[in-house]
Structure 1
Amino acid sequence: MSFEVHNINLTSGGTLKIKGKITEEADRFAVNLGSSSHHIALHFNPRFHDNVDGTVIVCNSKEDDCWGSEQRDMEFPFSKGDEVKVYITFKGDSFEIKLPNDHVVEFPNRLSLDKIDYMTVWGDFKLTSFKFD
């Protein structure tokens, strides 16, 4: 399952609010923000069955189709079948991801983008709504 949006024009200080339901047989899902599918400033990827860490949130970036080094966060407030809200604030030099248990994951804007034009949501997650503030 994949959902893609172009020309979203998210600038520094803006927040993306995502609401949806994690599937009952979820393995992983992701939210990608960037300028295109080849330039992703934030890859936010909760994994229920990671080969290394079990349940883990992996964040990364991709520039010219080349992935950077993974940042792993062991705080995992997601459960299969849950309805969840995730808030991603673009702070210019970084992203602040507020999780359902109020834990915050910070990830640097490695691509130094001034604005985010592209978003995809894919995997075992049924997106019910999103909005930009």
Structure 2
Amino acid sequence: MPLEIRNIEMKVGDTLKIKGKISDDANRFAVNLGSSSDNIGLHFNPRFQDEVDGAVIVCNSKCDDSWDSEQRESNFPYSKGEKFKLRITLKEDSFEIKLHDDSTIEFPNRMSLGTVNFVSVDGDFKLVSFRCN
């Protein structure tokens, strides 16, 4: 069941910190940041078995309920049944995503969001903690 948080007011320079535990039979999970469910500046979507690339992290954005082009990352530090940490920092021109293996993904802030008001998490993991500062 997805968790949606509205009116979060994450500003440029703020970091969203998520801890979770991936399900033993996980297929994928997603974290979305934006102004609404129809306008997502960052869709962060680790997929354990993608039809094209196998294990891959897909990042994308959605404007007025229409998806843009995907950015695919082959570095996949996730394992089924394992705990993980994720840190997403909102910057003026990008989202900086720090994975729990200390690698970083930069995804462009295509919508020039200065504030994120909407966050959702969904998929095959249990949310352990969530903090924005």
Return the TM-score normalized by structure 1: 0.98
Indicate conservation of the 8 Å contact 1:59/1:71, yes or no: yes
Structure 2: runs of 5+ lacking an equivalent: none
CA drift of 1:30 comes to 0.2
Question: Separation in 1 of the partners of 2:59 and 2:27?
Answer: 16
* Cα deviation 1:32-78 (Å, max 9, x = unaligned): 00000000000000000100000000000000000000000000000
- State the superposition RMSD in angstroms: 0.6
Q: Which residue of 2 aligns with 1:93?
A: 93
Structure 1: runs of 5+ lacking an equivalent: none
Q: Which residue of 2 aligns with 1:9?
A: 9
CA drift of 1:128 comes to 1.1
Q: Which residue of 2 aligns with 1:19?
A: 19
Q: Which residue of 1 aligns with 2:67?
A: 67
Q: Which residue of 1 aligns with 2:50?
A: 50
Question: Separation in 2 of the partners of 1:131 and 1:28?
Answer: 22
Question: Separation in 2 of the partners of 1:130 and 1:120?
Answer: 11
Which amino acid counterpart does residue 33 of structure 1 have in structure 2? L
Return the TM-score normalized by structure 2: 0.98
